[in-house]
Amino acid sequence: MNRPRRLLFVFGTRPEAIKLAPVIDMAKREKDRFETQVAVTAQHRGMLDDVLDVFGIRPDADLDLMRPGQSLFYLTSAIVREMEGVLERFSPDVVIVQGDTTTAFAAALAGFYSHKKVAHVEAGLRTDDKAMPFPEEINRRLVSSVADYHFAPTDSARRNLLEEGVPDGNVHVTGNTVIDALLGVLERHPADGPCPIDEPASIFAAYERVILITGHRRENFGPPFQAIWTALAASARKNPGVAFVYPVHPNPSVTDRVRRVLKDLPNCFLLPPLPYPAFCWCMARCRLIVTDSGGIQEEAPALGKPVLVTRRVTERPEAAAAGMVKLVGDDGGAIQSWIQRLLDDPDCYAEMAKGGSPYGDGRAAERILNILKNEETP
């Protein structure tokens, strides 16, 4: 009789945890088919722990590697080194990583060193510019070079992998697991119900229209962020009846500088990072979103929310091609112009807010696990 397949999920950041949570939850419920273990690197300690609590994930191994001012050199080498013991301890059949983080790359490399099969969730995203995003574009390409299972979220991602020589039989279009996570959270915390925490709820009660903002990409550090924040400040002054809600990333390169530009504007609300259920509630209730996040480019179209992306390129072209996402980069004039159009022009807004996700139907986790079931383990 075949024993259950041993799956080891490895992640270290909030987005990875969100996107792997539906797969972990479903695998844990299929005990006859899978032995499920979770290892976290804690690449981002505080923001990771929040999501672990939300989804009830209890790691079987916690490497606790985050250090103040950590460099990519430290983080990459520490993960590879510590994963050796984790892999010896759990002896998985498949190491499962997600996306394009340093954790994903280093854990996939460690799995390859240990002669384990590697599964890559959200495979095949590409900008074809190794500096944008940095280091994510190279991380995901390196994961693709060692992965055995490539779980592509879209047909476009699948084509990227096939063009790079990945065998067709190793590539599976599943949809993006972030849609599974989003729909599950909003089922528990619907937009027409109360917000899970008080502060954003009070802002939404006081303002009819809210613009939700995030920003954290390394390539935007310095002058690009300064240009973005200056444009947001100008838009806030022009639209005093609109709330600009900005959960600020804890990186000091972001936190300290953004406050200098926006903190004195009465309709700008600089909040700490929000728990994922509260953030989903804000996405579902806001008017539009300004962000450099990859995940939000996937989530917002499913909610019918226009997205202005403060990046010059995106590895998620599907929503942009459908007209639901607009790349504005760090062009202050474009940021202000598009915010104003989406506030003032109902036809423009309706065209971008038409809804419908190109990233899946909420069944990506089910598809991934059905594929992993097909290969029996003696």
Q: What is the CATH number of the domain that holds 214?
A: 3.40.50.2000
Residue 343: the pLDDT is: 98
Mean model confidence pLDDT for the chain: 94
Residue 255: the pLDDT is: 84
Residue 354: the pLDDT is: 87
- Measure CA of the first residue to CA of the last residue in the chain; give whole Å: 7
182 in a structural domain = no
- Is 218 one of the catalytic residues? yes
> Is 111's pLDDT higher than 90?
yes
Residue 94: the pLDDT is: 98
Q: Are residues 101 and 243 in the same domain?
A: no
15 in a structural domain = yes
Q: Are residues 36 and 169 in the same domain?
A: yes
CA distance 308 to 292: 8
Catalytic, out of 126, 249, 287, 311? 249
- Is 122 one of the catalytic residues? yes
CB 7 within 8 A of CB 93: yes
CB 212 within 8 A of CB 282: yes
Over residues 154-171, mean pLDDT: 97
Q: Which of 161-165, 211-215, 250-254, 328-332 has the lowest mean pLDDT?
A: 250-254
Which pLDDT band, with edges at 50, 70 and 90, does 1 fall under?
A: very low
Lookup: tokens for 361: 């139907």
Catalytic, out of 16, 82, 122, 298? 122
Lookup: tokens for 331: 């062009």
Instruction: Kindly give the residue spans of alpha helices, DSSP state H, lying in the chain.
Output: 14-29, 45-55, 72-90, 102-113, 136-146, 155-163, 177-188, 198-206, 223-238, 252-262, 276-285, 294-302, 317-321, 332-344, 346-352, 364-373
Q: Are residues 157 and 229 in the same domain?
A: no
Residue 173's closest CA among 375, 318, 27, 30?
318
Q: Are residues 11 and 145 in the same domain?
A: yes
Report which of residues 35 and 250 the model is more confident about. Answer: 35
Residue 214's closest CA among 119, 117, 309?
309
Q: Are residues 95 and 165 in the same domain?
A: yes
> Is 68's pLDDT higher than 50?
yes
Catalytic, out of 6, 159, 172, 216? 216
Q: Please write the tens of the pLDDT for every residue from 259-317.
A: 999 989 999 999 999 999 999 999 999 999 999 999 999 999 999 999 999 999 999 99
Burial category of 322 from C-beta neighbours within 10 Å (exposed 0-12, middle 13-18, buried 19 and up): middle
For residue 263, the SS3 value is coil
209 in a structural domain = yes
Distances (CA, A) of 218 to 128, 292, 362: 17, 10, 30
Q: Are residues 270 and 329 in the same domain?
A: yes
Catalytic, out of 136, 219, 292, 318? 136
Q: Are residues 123 and 209 in the same domain?
A: no
> Is 377's pLDDT higher than 80?
no
Residue 339's closest CA among 287, 280, 263, 297?
287
Range of the domain at 101: 5-176+361-373
Residue 308: the pLDDT is: 98
> Is 378's pLDDT higher than 70?
no
Q: Which of 34-43, 54-63, 244-253 has the lowest mean pLDDT?
A: 244-253
Catalytic, out of 16, 82, 93, 100? 100
CA distance 147 to 95: 9
Over residues 325-351, mean pLDDT: 97
- Is 172 one of the catalytic residues? no
Over residues 93-111, mean pLDDT: 98
184 in a structural domain = no
Q: Are residues 347 and 368 in the same domain?
A: no
pLDDT > 90: percent of the chain: 86
Catalytic, out of 172, 218, 312, 363? 218
Over residues 347-359, mean pLDDT: 91
CA distance 144 to 128: 14
- State pTM to two decimals: 0.92
Encoded amino acid at 195, one letter: C
Domains in the chain, number: 2
Q: Are residues 245 and 369 in the same domain?
A: no
Q: Are residues 348 and 213 in the same domain?
A: yes
Which pLDDT band, with edges at 50, 70 and 90, does 228 fall under?
A: very high
243 in a structural domain = yes
CB 322 within 8 A of CB 355: no
Q: Are residues 162 and 24 in the same domain?
A: yes
> Is 140's pLDDT higher than 50?
yes
- Is 189 one of the catalytic residues? no
27 in a structural domain = yes
CB 168 within 8 A of CB 162: yes
- Is 100 one of the catalytic residues? yes
For residue 1, the SS3 value is coil
Dihedral class, residue 329 (left if φ above 0, else alpha if ψ from -120 to 50, else beta): left
Over residues 245-259, mean pLDDT: 86
Residue 376: the pLDDT is: 56
Q: Are residues 149 and 26 in the same domain?
A: yes
235 in a structural domain = yes
205 in a structural domain = yes
